[in-house]
Copies of this chain bind each other. A is one copy, B any other.
Amino acid sequence: MKHSRREWFRVGLHAAVAPTIMIPKASAYDIQEIEGKLESGTGIAGVTKNDLPTPSLLLDLDAFESNIRRMADHASENGLDLRPHAKTHKCSEIATRQVGAGALGVCVATIREAEAMAAAGIGGLLLTSESVGLNKIHRLMRLCKRRPDTMAVVDHPSNAAELDEAAGSAGVRLNVLVDVDPLGRRTGIPPGSDAVALAETVDRLANLSLKGVHGYCGASSHVKGFEDRKRHSEKYMGPVLESHAAMVRKGLPVEIMSGASTGTYNIDSALEGMTELQVGSYALMDVDYRVIGGRGGEVYDDFGNALHVLATVISKNHDDIATVDAGLKAFATDRSFGPDVARPAGLTYAFRGDEHGALTLADSEREIVLGDKIELVVPHCDPNVNLYDRMYCVRGDYVQQVWKIDARGHV
């Protein structure tokens, strides 16, 4: 847009600046002050979303707490154990609340996540990726010394032998689930006689304790439409459950049959033989899950969107678009879609490089001006959380706490 003469005269009057940033000096906290206040206690009166740096990650506590409760209720009503997957949130504060709501412990995808959860006092850890190579195995053994109830997965006899040898050297007994592949060809041994033979091998090895079967069908979780998703999960989980049943018939100690995703939690809980759910995304939710369709309709709304990115409008030189300070480094980009704008209504977002996004303004519910705060629903929660070091927990506009994403970061 051309700047009119009148606009030039307004320089110094903040005419085009959002009222939201014109908060009283009293609440214009320094970032260290905000962090200090938030880390020292709960419910800091006066710290609002407008005080926060951007881009930042917001956790809506009302939606989050409702999600945690709802899944815990579902598991308990169906007589299943719940061991939610912490790879979604990488946050021991969230894991603590999941355990507080009745979970046995949490699943983790990496040894780094396992170490962070253990450091925060979370037990009942199930590491759902194979531990191969000296570094992972060495750290797994150290973890088992600290947390003897830790469980690992195995999908190959040579890895079982290696873990047995390492456990023997370390003087620990490693709990093992046989990872059976529901035809995803990612990790896991194929169902059937090979899987049963691997369970027998694990059971024979002196320093391993066979505990059950792990079977995760990632391909089912995002199948659109509840009935199609149900058919998909039943088809691919069937052989896994049959392998588990065969182990039971052989008298192998396979008390645990772990699986399911947020997309199939109310499908897999009805599968014969399943003993625990390892659902993850339900705690936070994202655009990706909203569109798969629920039991009742086209939108999957069993759980609410609890995770948003907060951004600031930092450039506004055109009538039709505005630029925010959140781009490719602020969002997961592994899906074909970007984030949805939650607030204000009527805006659409498009990536504009590493640090920027463009808002299309044509249908905006109100005028968008420099300094406006924008809240966006993340496209895919797991990799989105992985980009941030902390999440700001809010009720309405007020910030209550800051939680470290203490299990993020590789190594």
A residues with a Cβ closer than 8 A to B are: 2-3, 7-8, 10-17, 21, 23, 28, 30-31, 35, 50-57, 87, 109-112, 129-136, 138-139, 142, 155-162, 164-165, 181, 184-190, 194, 197, 201, 218, 312-318, 321, 323, 325, 328-330, 332-334, 351-356, 358, 370-371, 380, 382-383, 386-390, 409-411
Contacts and interface: CB of A to CB of B under 8 A. Distances in A.
Q: Across chains A and B, which 5 residue pairs bring their CB atoms closest together, nearest first?
A: A333-B334, A187-B315, A12-B161, A132-B314, A16-B158
Contact of A186 (B129, B136, B352): B352
Nearest to A389: B409
A353 B201 contact: no
A230 B30 CA distance: 45
28 contacts: A3-B157, A8-B201, A10-B158, A12-B161, A14-B161, A21-B133, A30-B142, A53-B111, A53-B136, A53-B410, A56-B410, A57-B410, A87-B355, A129-B314, A133-B312, A156-B315, A156-B370, A185-B318, A185-B321, A186-B356, A187-B315, A218-B353, A332-B333, A333-B333, A333-B334, A333-B383, A354-B383, A387-B410
A354 B28 contact: no
Given A3-B197, A21-B134, A53-B112, 18 more contacts: A3-B157, A8-B197, A10-B157, A16-B156, A17-B162, A21-B133, A30-B138, A30-B142, A53-B136, A87-B355, A130-B314, A130-B315, A132-B370, A133-B312, A328-B332, A329-B382, A333-B334, A334-B351
Contact of A411 (B31, B132, B317): B31
A155 B334 contact: no
A142 B165 CA distance: 56
A17 B410 CA distance: 23
Contacts of A7: 157
Contact of A54 (B14, B21, B28, B133): B133
A386 B380 CA distance: 17
B54 A135 contact: yes
Given A53-B135, A315-B130, A3 B382 contact: no
Nearest to A109: B355
A197 B390 CA distance: 41
Nearest to A85: B354
A300 to B, nearest CB: 19
Contacts of A165: 12
A112 B54 CA distance: 10
B410 A388 contact: yes
A315 B158 contact: no
A317 B156 contact: yes
Given A134-B23, A334-B328, A87 B410 contact: no
A353 B329 CA distance: 19
B355 A129 contact: yes
Contacts of A11: 157-158, 160-161, 201
A16 B7 CA distance: 73
A83 to B, nearest CB: 17
A291 B383 CA distance: 27
A189 B7 CA distance: 14
Contact of A135 (B51, B110, B411): B51
A78 B11 CA distance: 39
A389 to B, nearest CB: 4
A10 B160 CA distance: 12
A389 B411 contact: yes
Given A329-B386, A386-B329, A386-B387, A139 B31 contact: yes
Contact of A185 (B21, B313, B358): B358
Nearest to A370: B132
Contacts of A57: 410
Contacts of A155: 315, 317
Contact of A354 (B54, B139, B197, B382): B382
